[in-house]
C-alpha cells in the first residue's frame, strides 16, 4: 500500500510540475517593439517610412507623402518655407552642420533667373550606409524634400549626385522620379501651382573627394572632380556659376516632415543647438549592427550599449570612431558624451555624416590611424600640396611604426604635419584628414610609444611585431590551422597539437582567425 502511495505521489508531483511548466509557457509574452531597447530607444523621423514598398508611390502617399510639398507649393511663399526651416533648427546632416534654413535664405536672395538644387548622395565613408538605405527604402522622401527646397530658393532644375556603386538606389530613384512625374508631382505645373521642377540623376565615378560640394559640382559639369577655393560660396555661385543649394540625403529626408508638422515640432526634439534626430550606421565590434536613429543629445553609451547591445564575446570596449576617415576616435572615458555637434567636437571627433565604428580591446589604434590615413591619402585629389604630400608622408610614418621601425621623433613629426595640413589644405578632406591620427595620439599615445620604443603592439595586431606560437594545452588537435596556412608553415598530425615553423611563417594571421579554440597566440 505504501508503495502504491509513493507512486501516486510521484505521479501527482510530475503532473503538477508539467502544469507549472505549461503555465510558464503561457505567461511568456512576446514584447512590444518599444520594450526592446534597440527599437524603444530610437525616434524615427528620417526612417519613419521603413517597411513601405519603395517602388510604389501610392504607399508613400498613404503615409502622408507629398502633403508637405502640396502645402509648400499651394499655401506658402518661399520666405515662409525658409522661416519654417530656420525655426526647426535643422542643420546639414552631411557633416558640416550648417543651418539649412540659412543656406536656403542665401540662395533665395542671390540674384539670377537660373538656380539649382542638388542632393549629395555620394556616400563614401568606410562603414557608412545611411544614405544608401534611405535612398533604397524611401526615395520619394528625397524627391519631396528637393521640391520644397526648389520652391524656397526659386530653382526649376535639380540633380541627385549618386555614386555608381549604389545600383539599387539609382534604380529606385529612377522609378520614383518616373512615378512622381506621371502623378504630376514633378515636372511642369506641379499641383496646378504654376511651379515647375525637373529632376535628374547624375552618377558619380567613385571618387571620395566628390562628396565635397565644389568638387561634386565640377563633376556634374563634366570636369574632373576637384575642389575650388571658397568664397564664392555655392549659394551665390555654384553649379555652372549659378546660385545653388546642396544638401545631403538625410537633410532632405527631414524637410517634408518639418513642413508638414511645423518647425516648432522639430525644434522640440534634440538639444538647444542640435535639433531633431540623427541617423547612425552602427558597425564594428558591437552586437546589434545596423541603422539607428536617435534624438540629438543621446549619449554614446546609450547608442553603443543599450541600443547596440555592447561589445560581443565578453570583450572590452576600447573606442568608437565617429565621422568616418575625417573623424576621430573617442575613448572609453568619454562614453557618456552626448551626441551633438558641439559635444562631439570637444572630445576630438566630428559628427560627420553618421558613421559609428565600435572597437574592442583587440584593436590596435596605431594601425587604425594608418588605415584611415591610407584611405585619405588614396582619395586625395592631389590639387593642393599640403594634402597630396602631407598625407603621404604621414602614411609612410605610420606604416613604419606598425612595422616596428618607428623612431623617437616620429610622434612629434606626425603632430607637426597634422597641424600644417589642417591649416593649409584647400578642402574639408585635407583639413580634417589628420583627425584620426590626432585623436589616437591624444587618447592612445602609450600605444604609439610601445610600438616605437618597445617594438611591441599592445593589441597584438601588427604582424611585424608578433611571433606566433601554439598553446598545446588549448589546442584541440583539429588541424584547421594546418589546412588553412598558405605557406605550409604549420605541421600537424592526427591527435597531435600543431606546431608553427617561424622561418616559414609570413604572419598573415590566417591561423589565429580560423582557430576554433584560440590556441594560437
Q: Which of 267, 287, 320 is the last residue of a domain?
A: 267
pLDDT in tens, 300-353: 999 999 999 989 988 899 999 988 887 888 899 999 999 999 998 888 888 877
Residues of the chain with confidence (pLDDT) below 50:
1
Q: Please indicate, yes or no, whether residues 223 and 146 belong to a single structural domain of this protein.
A: yes
Residue 120, classed as helix, strand or coil, is: strand
Count the helices and strands in the chain (H runs, E runs). Answer: 21, 11
Encode 64-114 in three state secondary structure: CCCHHHHHHHHHCCHHHHHHHHHHHCCECCCCCCCEHHHHHHHHHHCCCCC
User: Which one, of 359, 363, 393, 360, lies nearest residue 376 by Cα?
Assistant: 393
Calpha distance 325→357 (Å, rounded)? 11
Q: Please identify, among 316, 332, 360, the residue that sits at the C-terminal boundary of a domain.
A: 360
**385 and 331 in a common domain:** no
Q: Is residue 298 part of a domain?
A: yes
Q: Which of 471, 497, 467, 468 is closest to 482 using CA atoms?
A: 497
Distance CA 339, CA 16 (A): 53
Q: Are 356 and 376 contained in the same domain?
A: no
Strand, helix or coil for residue 318:
strand
In a domain, 9, yes or no: no
Q: Is 263:87 a contact under the CB 8 Å cutoff?
A: yes
Q: How many domains does the chain have?
A: 4
Range of the domain at 313: 277-360
Residue 246 phi, psi (nearest 5): -125, 120
For 293, list phi and psi in degrees, rounded to 5: -125, 120
159 with 257, same domain: the answer is: yes
One domain for residues 488 and 507: yes
What local confidence, expressed as pLDDT, does residue 1 receive?
A: 47
Contact between 216 and 202 (Cβ < 8 Å): no
In DSSP notation, 132-165 reads: HHHHHH-HHHHHHHHHHHHHHHT--EEEEEEETT
Identify whether residues 207 and 258 lie together within a single domain: yes
Q: Are residues 263 and 283 in the same domain?
A: no
C-beta neighbour count of 503 within 10 angstroms: 6
Residues in the chain, overall count: 521
> Residue 331 belongs to a domain with what CATH number?
3.10.20.600
Burial readout 200-209 (b: 16 or more C-beta within 10 A, e: otherwise): ebebbeebbb
Are 369 and 356 found together in one domain?
A: no
Query: Do the beta carbons of residue 394 and residue 373 sit within 8 Å?
Result: yes
Distance CA 103, CA 238 (A): 13
User: Last residue of some domain: 215, 244, 267?
Assistant: 267
Is position 115 within any domain? yes
Same domain flag for 114 and 252: yes
Residues 499-508 have pLDDT tens digits of 888 888 887 7
Q: 177 lies in a domain? A: yes
- Does residue 42 lie in a domain region? no
CA-nearest of 161, 163, 221, 207 to 382 is 207
Between CA 505 and CA 410 the distance in angstroms is 29
Contacts of 56 (CB under 8 A, 6+ apart): none
CATH number at residue 216: 3.40.50.11540
Helix (H) or strand (E) holding 177: helix 167-182
With H, G, I as helix, E, B as strand and everything else as coil, classify residue 425: coil
| Whether residues 316 and 170 fall in one domain | no
Q: In what order do the strands lie in the sheet with 244-248?
A: 198-204, 157-163, 116-121, 244-248
The Cα–Cα gap between 99 and 35 comes to 34
Same domain? 87 vs 206:
yes
Please indicate, yes or no, whether residues 353 and 370 belong to a single structural domain of this protein.
no
pLDDT of residue 27: 57
Q: Dihedral sign, CA of 228, 279, 341, 301? A: negative
Q: Is 31 exposed, middle or buried (0-12, 13-18, 19+ CB in 10 A)?
A: exposed
List Cβ neighbours of 139 (8 Å cut-off, separation of 6 or more).
54, 169, 172, 173, 175, 176
**20: in domain:** no
- Model pLDDT, residue 4: 58
d(CA 289, CA 279): 13
CA distances from 442 to 65, 250, 330, 333, 437 (A): 47, 31, 10, 12, 9
Amino acid at each position: 500500500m505504501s508503495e502504491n502511495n509513493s507512486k501516486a505521489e510521484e505521479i501527482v508531483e510530475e503532473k503538477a510540475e508539467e502544469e507549472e511548466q505549461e503555465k510558464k509557457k503561457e505567461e511568456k509574452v512576446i514584447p512590444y517593439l518599444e520594450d526592446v531597447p534597440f527599437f524603444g530607444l530610437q525616434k524615427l523621423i528620417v526612417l519613419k517610412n521603413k517597411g513601405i514598398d519603395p517602388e510604389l508611390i501610392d504607399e508613400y502617399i498613404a503615409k502622408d507623402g507629398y502633403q508637405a510639398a502640396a502645402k509648400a507649393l499651394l499655401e506658402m511663399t518661399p520666405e515662409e518655407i525658409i522661416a519654417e526651416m530656420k525655426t526647426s533648427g535643422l542643420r546639414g546632416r552631411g557633416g558640416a552642420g550648417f543651418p539649412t534654413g540659412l543656406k536656403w535664405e542665401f540662395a533665395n536672395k542671390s540674384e539670377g533667373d537660373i538656380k539649382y538644387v542638388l542632393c549629395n548622395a555620394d556616400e563614401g565613408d568606410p562603414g557608412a550606409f545611411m544614405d544608401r538605405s534611405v535612398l533604397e527604402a524611401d526615395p520619394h522622401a528625397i524627391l519631396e524634400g528637393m521640391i520644397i527646397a526648389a520652391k524656397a530658393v526659386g530653382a526649376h532644375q535639380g540633380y541627385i549626385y549618386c555614386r555608381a556603386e549604389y545600383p539599387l538606389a539609382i534604380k529606385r530613384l529612377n522609378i520614383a522620379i518616373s512615378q512622381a512625374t506621371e502623378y504630376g508631382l514633378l515636372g511642369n505645373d506641379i499641383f496646378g501651382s504654376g511651379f515647375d521642377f525637373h529632376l535628374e540623376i547624375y552618377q558619380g565615378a567613385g571618387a571620395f573627394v566628390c562628396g565635397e560640394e565644389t568638387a561634386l559640382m565640377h563633376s556634374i559639369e563634366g570636369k574632373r572632380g576637384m575642389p575650388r577655393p571658397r568664397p564664392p560660396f555655392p549659394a551665390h555661385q555654384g553649379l555652372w556659376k549659378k546660385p545653388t543649394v546642396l544638401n545631403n540625403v538625410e537633410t532632405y529626408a527631414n524637410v517634408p516632415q518639418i513642413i508638414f508638422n511645423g518647425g516648432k515640432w522639430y525644434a522640440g526634439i534634440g538639444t538647444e543647438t542640435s535639433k531633431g534626430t540623427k541617423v547612425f550606421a552602427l558597425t564594428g565590434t558591437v552586437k546589434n549592427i545596423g541603422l539607428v536613429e536617435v534624438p540629438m543629445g543621446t549619449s554614446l553609451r546609450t547608442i553603443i550599449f543599450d541600443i547596440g547591445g555592447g561589445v560581443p564575446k565578453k570583450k572590452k570596449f576600447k573606442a568608437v570612431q565617429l565621422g568616418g576617415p575625417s573623424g576621430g576616435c573617442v575613448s572609453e572615458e568619454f562614453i557618456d558624451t552626448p551626441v551633438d555637434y558641439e559635444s562631439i567636437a570637444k572630445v576630438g571627433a566630428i559628427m560627420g555624416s553618421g558613421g559609428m565604428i565600435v572597437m574592442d580591446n583587440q584593436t590596435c589604434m596605431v594601425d587604425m590611424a594608418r588605415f584611415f590615413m591610407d584611405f585619405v591619402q588614396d582619395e586625395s585629389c592631389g590639387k593642393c600640396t599640403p594634402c597630396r604630400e602631407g598625407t603621404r608622408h604621414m602614411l609612410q610614418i605610420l606604416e613604419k611604426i606598425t612595422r616596428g621601425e618607428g623612431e623617437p621623433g616620429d610622434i612629434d613629426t606626425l603632430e607637426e604635419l597634422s597641424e600644417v595640413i589642417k591649416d593649409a589644405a584647400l578642402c574639408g578632406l585635407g583639413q580634417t584628414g589628420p583627425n584620426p591620427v590626432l585623436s589616437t595620439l591624444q587618447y592612445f599615445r602609450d600605444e604609439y610609444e610601445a610600438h616605437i620604443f618597445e617594438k611591441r603592439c599592445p593589441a597584438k595586431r601588427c604582424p611585424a611585431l608578433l611571433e606566433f606560437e601554439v598553446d598545446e594545452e588549448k589546442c584541440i588537435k583539429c588541424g584547421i590551422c594546418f589546412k588553412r596556412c598558405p605557406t605550409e608553415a604549420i605541421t600537424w598530425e592526427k591527435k597531435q597539437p600543431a606546431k608553427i615553423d617561424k622561418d616559414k611563417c609570413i604572419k598573415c594571421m590566417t591561423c589565429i582567425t580560423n582557430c576554433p579554440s584560440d590556441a594560437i597566440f
